[in-house]
Structure 1
Amino acid sequence: MVYSDKVVDHFNNPRNIGSLDKNDPKVGTGIAGAPECGDVMKLQIKVVREHLCQDCQNSWLAESQEATCPRCNGNKINIRDVIVDAKFKTFGCGSAIASSSLATEWLKGKTPDEALEIKNTQIVNELSLPPVKIHCSVLAEDAIRAAVKDFKKKQSE
Protein backbone atom coordinates (compact mmCIF):
# COMPACT_ATOMS: atom_id res chain seq x y z
CA MET A 1 0.00 0.00 0.00
CA VAL A 2 1.29 3.43 -0.95
CA TYR A 3 0.80 6.20 1.61
CA SER A 4 0.65 9.92 0.85
CA ASP A 5 3.56 12.17 1.79
CA LYS A 6 1.42 13.67 4.59
CA VAL A 7 0.75 10.25 6.14
CA VAL A 8 4.44 9.39 5.96
CA ASP A 9 5.37 12.76 7.50
CA HIS A 10 2.91 12.43 10.41
CA PHE A 11 3.98 8.81 10.95
CA ASN A 12 7.71 9.57 10.89
CA ASN A 13 7.36 12.89 12.76
CA PRO A 14 4.20 12.58 14.85
CA ARG A 15 3.08 15.76 16.54
CA ASN A 16 1.83 16.00 20.12
CA ILE A 17 2.54 12.46 21.33
CA GLY A 18 2.06 12.07 25.04
CA SER A 19 -0.44 12.39 27.83
CA LEU A 20 -1.98 15.13 29.92
CA ASP A 21 -3.14 14.73 33.53
CA LYS A 22 -6.55 13.08 33.18
CA ASN A 23 -7.47 14.28 36.70
CA ASP A 24 -7.03 17.94 35.71
CA PRO A 25 -10.52 19.50 35.41
CA LYS A 26 -9.30 21.40 32.33
CA VAL A 27 -8.37 18.15 30.52
CA GLY A 28 -10.79 16.01 28.54
CA THR A 29 -9.82 12.45 27.62
CA GLY A 30 -11.30 10.42 24.80
CA ILE A 31 -10.59 6.81 23.90
CA ALA A 32 -11.76 5.22 20.67
CA GLY A 33 -11.29 1.83 19.09
CA ALA A 34 -11.14 -1.68 20.35
CA PRO A 35 -8.07 -3.66 21.39
CA GLU A 36 -9.44 -6.81 19.74
CA CYS A 37 -9.38 -5.16 16.29
CA GLY A 38 -5.92 -3.67 16.76
CA ASP A 39 -6.44 0.10 16.68
CA VAL A 40 -6.86 2.10 19.90
CA MET A 41 -6.56 5.86 20.12
CA LYS A 42 -6.35 8.04 23.24
CA LEU A 43 -6.72 11.74 22.55
CA GLN A 44 -6.66 14.47 25.20
CA ILE A 45 -7.43 18.18 25.09
CA LYS A 46 -6.54 20.93 27.56
CA VAL A 47 -8.97 23.84 27.65
CA VAL A 48 -8.30 27.29 29.13
CA ARG A 49 -10.32 30.50 29.18
CA GLU A 50 -9.34 33.02 26.52
CA HIS A 51 -10.17 36.68 27.09
CA LEU A 52 -10.48 39.15 24.21
CA CYS A 53 -10.74 42.90 24.74
CA GLN A 54 -13.17 44.44 22.27
CA ASP A 55 -11.51 47.84 22.70
CA CYS A 56 -7.88 47.03 21.81
CA GLN A 57 -8.14 43.40 20.54
CA ASN A 58 -5.67 42.22 23.18
CA SER A 59 -6.14 38.55 24.04
CA TRP A 60 -4.85 36.59 27.02
CA LEU A 61 -5.37 33.26 28.73
CA ALA A 62 -6.54 33.21 32.33
CA GLU A 63 -8.75 31.11 34.55
CA SER A 64 -10.42 34.09 36.19
CA GLN A 65 -13.34 36.11 34.89
CA GLU A 66 -11.22 39.26 34.63
CA ALA A 67 -13.36 42.35 34.08
CA THR A 68 -10.71 44.67 32.65
CA CYS A 69 -8.04 44.42 29.99
CA PRO A 70 -4.48 44.50 31.37
CA ARG A 71 -3.35 46.54 28.34
CA CYS A 72 -5.99 49.29 27.99
CA ASN A 73 -8.18 48.82 31.09
CA GLY A 74 -11.16 48.33 28.77
CA ASN A 75 -14.11 46.47 30.23
CA LYS A 76 -15.70 45.02 27.08
CA ILE A 77 -14.27 41.52 27.39
CA ASN A 78 -15.36 38.41 25.49
CA ILE A 79 -14.51 35.16 27.26
CA ARG A 80 -14.47 31.73 25.65
CA ASP A 81 -12.96 28.33 26.34
CA VAL A 82 -10.19 27.43 23.90
CA ILE A 83 -8.13 24.27 23.40
CA VAL A 84 -4.52 25.19 24.15
CA ASP A 85 -2.99 21.72 24.02
CA ALA A 86 -3.79 18.30 22.60
CA LYS A 87 -1.94 15.01 23.03
CA PHE A 88 -2.41 11.50 21.74
CA LYS A 89 -1.24 7.94 22.15
CA THR A 90 -2.27 5.52 19.43
CA PHE A 91 -1.76 1.80 19.07
CA GLY A 92 -2.32 1.10 15.41
CA CYS A 93 -1.12 1.42 11.85
CA GLY A 94 0.56 4.39 10.21
CA SER A 95 -2.77 5.82 9.07
CA ALA A 96 -4.14 5.72 12.63
CA ILE A 97 -1.05 7.48 13.97
CA ALA A 98 -1.17 10.08 11.19
CA SER A 99 -4.89 10.69 11.79
CA SER A 100 -4.22 11.24 15.51
CA SER A 101 -1.28 13.53 14.88
CA LEU A 102 -3.19 15.66 12.37
CA ALA A 103 -6.24 15.87 14.64
CA THR A 104 -4.16 17.21 17.55
CA GLU A 105 -2.73 19.91 15.28
CA TRP A 106 -6.20 20.95 14.13
CA LEU A 107 -7.63 21.06 17.66
CA LYS A 108 -5.31 23.74 19.04
CA GLY A 109 -6.94 27.16 19.06
CA LYS A 110 -10.47 25.83 18.62
CA THR A 111 -13.29 25.95 21.15
CA PRO A 112 -14.62 22.57 22.29
CA ASP A 113 -17.72 23.12 20.13
CA GLU A 114 -15.56 23.98 17.11
CA ALA A 115 -13.59 20.77 17.73
CA LEU A 116 -16.81 18.80 17.27
CA GLU A 117 -17.02 20.16 13.73
CA ILE A 118 -13.90 18.21 12.71
CA LYS A 119 -15.13 15.30 10.61
CA ASN A 120 -13.36 12.14 9.58
CA THR A 121 -13.91 13.05 5.92
CA GLN A 122 -11.73 16.14 6.38
CA ILE A 123 -8.96 13.96 7.80
CA VAL A 124 -9.37 11.48 4.92
CA ASN A 125 -9.07 14.28 2.38
CA GLU A 126 -6.11 16.00 4.07
CA LEU A 127 -4.13 12.77 4.39
CA SER A 128 -5.39 11.19 1.14
CA LEU A 129 -6.26 8.01 3.01
CA PRO A 130 -7.19 5.00 0.87
CA PRO A 131 -10.68 3.49 1.38
CA VAL A 132 -9.33 0.60 3.46
CA LYS A 133 -7.90 3.11 5.98
CA ILE A 134 -10.94 5.37 6.41
CA HIS A 135 -11.70 3.66 9.74
CA CYS A 136 -8.55 5.32 11.14
CA SER A 137 -10.03 8.76 10.53
CA VAL A 138 -13.28 7.64 12.17
CA LEU A 139 -11.29 6.73 15.29
CA ALA A 140 -9.88 10.27 15.38
CA GLU A 141 -13.34 11.84 15.09
CA ASP A 142 -14.70 9.50 17.77
CA ALA A 143 -11.78 10.27 20.11
CA ILE A 144 -12.30 14.03 19.65
CA ARG A 145 -16.00 13.68 20.48
CA ALA A 146 -15.20 11.59 23.56
CA ALA A 147 -12.56 14.08 24.77
CA VAL A 148 -14.94 17.04 24.42
CA LYS A 149 -17.69 15.09 26.16
CA ASP A 150 -15.34 14.26 29.05
CA PHE A 151 -14.24 17.91 29.36
CA LYS A 152 -17.84 19.16 29.40
CA LYS A 153 -18.79 16.53 31.98
CA LYS A 154 -15.99 17.73 34.26
CA GLN A 155 -17.19 21.34 33.90
CA SER A 156 -20.69 20.41 35.03
CA GLU A 157 -19.51 18.57 38.16
Structure 2
Amino acid sequence: MDTPNEQSGYAGPVLFYNEEVIDHFTNPRNVGELPEEETDGFGLVGDPSCGDQMKLWISVKSERIEKIAFKSFGCPGAIATSSMLTALAKGKSIEEARRISDDDVVEALGGIPERKKHCSLLGVLALQAAIKDWEKRRAAGKEEGK
Protein backbone atom coordinates (compact mmCIF):
# COMPACT_ATOMS: atom_id res chain seq x y z
CA MET A 1 0.00 0.00 0.00
CA ASP A 2 1.28 3.45 -0.87
CA THR A 3 1.91 5.95 1.89
CA PRO A 4 0.25 9.39 1.58
CA ASN A 5 3.61 10.74 0.37
CA GLU A 6 3.83 8.18 -2.41
CA GLN A 7 0.24 8.81 -3.53
CA SER A 8 0.57 12.60 -3.72
CA GLY A 9 4.20 12.99 -4.63
CA TYR A 10 4.66 15.21 -1.56
CA ALA A 11 8.22 14.89 -0.29
CA GLY A 12 7.74 16.46 3.17
CA PRO A 13 7.08 14.71 6.46
CA VAL A 14 3.77 12.92 6.95
CA LEU A 15 1.69 14.25 9.83
CA PHE A 16 -0.78 11.81 11.27
CA TYR A 17 -3.74 13.32 13.10
CA ASN A 18 -6.03 11.23 15.26
CA GLU A 19 -9.81 11.09 14.77
CA GLU A 20 -10.50 13.76 17.42
CA VAL A 21 -8.16 16.25 15.75
CA ILE A 22 -9.62 15.48 12.33
CA ASP A 23 -13.15 15.94 13.72
CA HIS A 24 -12.31 19.35 15.22
CA PHE A 25 -10.62 20.40 11.99
CA THR A 26 -13.44 19.31 9.68
CA ASN A 27 -16.26 20.28 12.08
CA PRO A 28 -14.86 23.11 14.20
CA ARG A 29 -16.91 24.09 17.25
CA ASN A 30 -17.84 27.70 17.98
CA VAL A 31 -16.46 29.01 14.69
CA GLY A 32 -17.50 32.49 13.61
CA GLU A 33 -17.84 35.86 15.32
CA LEU A 34 -20.01 37.15 18.13
CA PRO A 35 -22.00 40.28 17.34
CA GLU A 36 -20.47 43.46 18.81
CA GLU A 37 -23.36 43.89 21.24
CA GLU A 38 -22.71 40.41 22.67
CA THR A 39 -18.91 40.73 22.81
CA ASP A 40 -17.51 41.31 26.29
CA GLY A 41 -13.92 40.43 25.40
CA PHE A 42 -11.85 40.06 22.24
CA GLY A 43 -8.42 38.55 21.66
CA LEU A 44 -6.21 38.58 18.57
CA VAL A 45 -2.94 36.68 18.37
CA GLY A 46 -0.54 35.67 15.64
CA ASP A 47 0.42 37.21 12.34
CA PRO A 48 -1.22 36.03 9.12
CA SER A 49 1.66 37.37 7.01
CA CYS A 50 4.02 34.78 8.47
CA GLY A 51 1.83 32.06 9.94
CA ASP A 52 -1.21 31.29 12.07
CA GLN A 53 -3.62 33.88 13.43
CA MET A 54 -6.61 33.58 15.75
CA LYS A 55 -9.40 35.96 16.65
CA LEU A 56 -11.52 35.03 19.67
CA TRP A 57 -14.68 36.61 21.09
CA ILE A 58 -16.25 35.91 24.50
CA SER A 59 -19.57 36.81 26.07
CA VAL A 60 -19.49 36.70 29.87
CA LYS A 61 -22.47 36.45 32.22
CA SER A 62 -22.03 36.20 36.00
CA GLU A 63 -18.25 35.81 35.50
CA ARG A 64 -18.81 32.71 33.33
CA ILE A 65 -18.08 32.35 29.61
CA GLU A 66 -21.57 32.01 28.18
CA LYS A 67 -20.65 32.29 24.49
CA ILE A 68 -17.35 31.95 22.69
CA ALA A 69 -16.46 32.13 19.01
CA PHE A 70 -13.28 32.08 16.97
CA LYS A 71 -11.82 32.52 13.52
CA SER A 72 -8.43 31.01 12.81
CA PHE A 73 -6.14 31.28 9.83
CA GLY A 74 -3.77 28.36 9.83
CA CYS A 75 -3.08 24.70 9.37
CA PRO A 76 -5.35 21.81 10.45
CA GLY A 77 -3.58 21.70 13.83
CA ALA A 78 -4.29 25.40 14.46
CA ILE A 79 -7.97 25.03 13.53
CA ALA A 80 -8.46 21.86 15.59
CA THR A 81 -6.72 23.21 18.69
CA SER A 82 -8.64 26.50 18.43
CA SER A 83 -11.90 24.56 18.21
CA MET A 84 -11.03 22.39 21.20
CA LEU A 85 -9.93 25.41 23.24
CA THR A 86 -13.35 27.03 22.74
CA ALA A 87 -15.11 23.78 23.66
CA LEU A 88 -13.07 23.59 26.87
CA ALA A 89 -13.66 27.25 27.80
CA LYS A 90 -17.39 27.50 27.07
CA GLY A 91 -19.38 27.46 30.30
CA LYS A 92 -16.30 27.84 32.49
CA SER A 93 -15.85 30.61 35.03
CA ILE A 94 -13.29 33.26 34.09
CA GLU A 95 -10.88 31.81 36.66
CA GLU A 96 -11.33 28.25 35.32
CA ALA A 97 -10.86 29.46 31.73
CA ARG A 98 -7.76 31.41 32.71
CA ARG A 99 -6.16 28.16 33.92
CA ILE A 100 -6.67 26.25 30.63
CA SER A 101 -3.21 25.43 29.28
CA ASP A 102 -1.93 24.36 25.90
CA ASP A 103 -1.26 20.94 27.45
CA ASP A 104 -4.95 20.72 28.44
CA VAL A 105 -5.93 21.37 24.82
CA VAL A 106 -3.52 18.75 23.48
CA GLU A 107 -4.68 16.20 26.07
CA ALA A 108 -8.35 16.83 25.26
CA LEU A 109 -7.59 16.18 21.59
CA GLY A 110 -5.83 12.92 22.42
CA GLY A 111 -2.49 14.35 21.28
CA ILE A 112 -1.18 16.09 18.19
CA PRO A 113 2.07 15.63 16.26
CA GLU A 114 5.01 17.04 18.23
CA ARG A 115 5.91 19.58 15.58
CA LYS A 116 2.35 20.98 15.75
CA LYS A 117 2.21 21.45 19.53
CA HIS A 118 2.87 25.17 19.14
CA CYS A 119 -0.58 25.44 17.52
CA SER A 120 -2.24 24.69 20.87
CA LEU A 121 -0.70 27.82 22.36
CA LEU A 122 -2.45 30.03 19.80
CA GLY A 123 -5.92 29.49 21.28
CA VAL A 124 -4.71 29.76 24.87
CA LEU A 125 -3.05 33.11 24.13
CA ALA A 126 -6.17 34.39 22.34
CA LEU A 127 -8.34 33.34 25.29
CA GLN A 128 -5.98 35.08 27.73
CA ALA A 129 -6.12 38.23 25.57
CA ALA A 130 -9.94 38.10 25.47
CA ILE A 131 -10.11 37.70 29.27
CA LYS A 132 -7.77 40.68 29.72
CA ASP A 133 -9.95 42.70 27.33
CA TRP A 134 -13.07 41.70 29.32
CA GLU A 135 -11.37 42.79 32.55
CA LYS A 136 -10.38 46.12 30.99
CA ARG A 137 -13.91 46.75 29.67
CA ARG A 138 -15.42 45.77 33.02
CA ALA A 139 -13.10 48.10 34.93
CA ALA A 140 -13.88 50.94 32.49
CA GLY A 141 -17.62 50.31 32.98
CA LYS A 142 -17.24 50.50 36.76
CA GLU A 143 -15.30 53.74 36.41
CA GLU A 144 -18.05 55.21 34.24
CA GLY A 145 -20.68 54.10 36.75
CA LYS A 146 -19.19 56.10 39.63
Coarse TM-score class (shorter-chain normalised): 0.7 to 0.9
* Structure 2: stretches of 5+ with no match in the other structure: 1-14, 141-146
* Separation in 1, partners of 2:43, 2:68: 11
Alignment of 1:1-157 (within 5 A): 1-22=15-36, 24=37, 27-49=40-62, 81-127=63-109, 128-157=111-140
More helix by share: 2
* Structure 1: stretches of 5+ with no match in the other structure: 50-80
Offset of residue 140 of structure 1? 0.9
The superposition leaves residues 112-155 of structure 1 with CA deviations (integer Å, 9 ceiling, x where unpaired) of 12111000011122221111111110101101100100011000
TM-score (norm 2): 0.81
* Separation in 2, partners of 1:92, 1:36: 11
The superposition leaves residues 31-59 of structure 1 with CA deviations (integer Å, 9 ceiling, x where unpaired) of 1111232200111111012xxxxxxxxxx
CA contact (8 A) 1:25 1:151 kept: no
* Separation in 1, partners of 2:90, 2:51: 28
The superposition leaves residues 54-79 of structure 1 with CA deviations (integer Å, 9 ceiling, x where unpaired) of xxxxxxxxxxxxxxxxxxxxxxxxxx
Q: Secondary structure at the match of 2:117?
A: helix
Q: Tell me which amino acid in the other structure corresponds to 2:73.
A: F
More strand by share: 1
- Using CA pairs under 8 Å that are at least 6 residues apart, name the structure with larger relative contact order, 1 or 2: 1
The sequence identity of aligned pairs, in percent, is: 44
Cα root mean square deviation, aligned: 1.3
Offset of residue 21 of structure 1? 2.8
4+ long deviations beyond 2 Å: none
| Shift in CA distance, 26/12, structure 1 to aligned 2, threshold 3 Å | closer
